[in-house]
Amino acid sequence: MQVKYAIFDMDGTLLDSMHVWDNVGQTVLRRNGIPVPEGLRRAMRDMTVEDVAKYFKTLGAKCSVEQLMQEINDIPYEKYLYDVQPKPGAAAFLQRLHRQGVPMCIVSSTDAASIRAAFDRLELTGLFTFILSTNDFGSGKDRPEIFYEAARRLGGKPEETVVFEDALYAIRTAKAAGFQVAALADERAAFEKSEIEKIADVYLPDLRAFPWKGGC
């Protein structure tokens, strides 16, 4: 598989960080005196932070969407700043692409401050052309616009660009939009594995298994 341009998800793809979000929704709802609905964690997985905040408003949260977004983002920030680590092979893979001159970016539902906190600490920020958070862009990875914008900024066409993702909904969006998709396994998405394998061009246990064109 040849990589001319690369769009990377962060949580569950490059960083072992899905656990950071495990109790964020429950914590915010309880702070606001709202009962936690069943299936909250899975529902949040496919939402932007703004979508989550709007959802919490429908559950009865009194503060504004903006205040809820700030509260949601603040809880995991310190874990990105101090704790989260790359997934196996991720740092070496990024460094290899960088040495080859491949333009790369991050497209993530996590807020930009947390993204930069993690990658600055890991000394990986400089490998990326830019970082794009769905919070800043205004729509999530359930729509193709953010992928098209990322490819445009990188200078590539969708068919020339590989999207690295672990979430089924984003994989489905990117593939339908004409991108190549390399899916990464994550234990929290194990229940979606069979569907992901049907859609993605490749399905990898981690980036050490990436099928380089020509085997190099």
Cross-strand pairs, 6: 104, 162
Per this entry, what is the length of the chain? 216
Stretch (H or E) spanning 49: helix 49-58
pTM: 0.87
Provide the residue ranges of all domains of the chain, joining segments of one domain with +: 5-17+85-215, 19-82
**Opening angle at CA 76, ends 7 and 137, nearest 5:** 40
Tell me the C-alpha distance between 176 and 83, whole Å.
35
Tell me the C-alpha distance between 90 and 164, whole Å.
11
Residue 188: pLDDT band (50, 70, 90) is confident
Residue 168, pLDDT > 50, answer yes
Mean pLDDT of 28-43: 88
**Homologous superfamily, domain 5-17+85-215:** HAD superfamily/HAD-like (3.40.50.1000)
The CATH number of domain 19-82 is 1.10.150: yes
Tell me the C-alpha distance between 165 and 177, whole Å.
14
Mean pLDDT of 155-182: 97
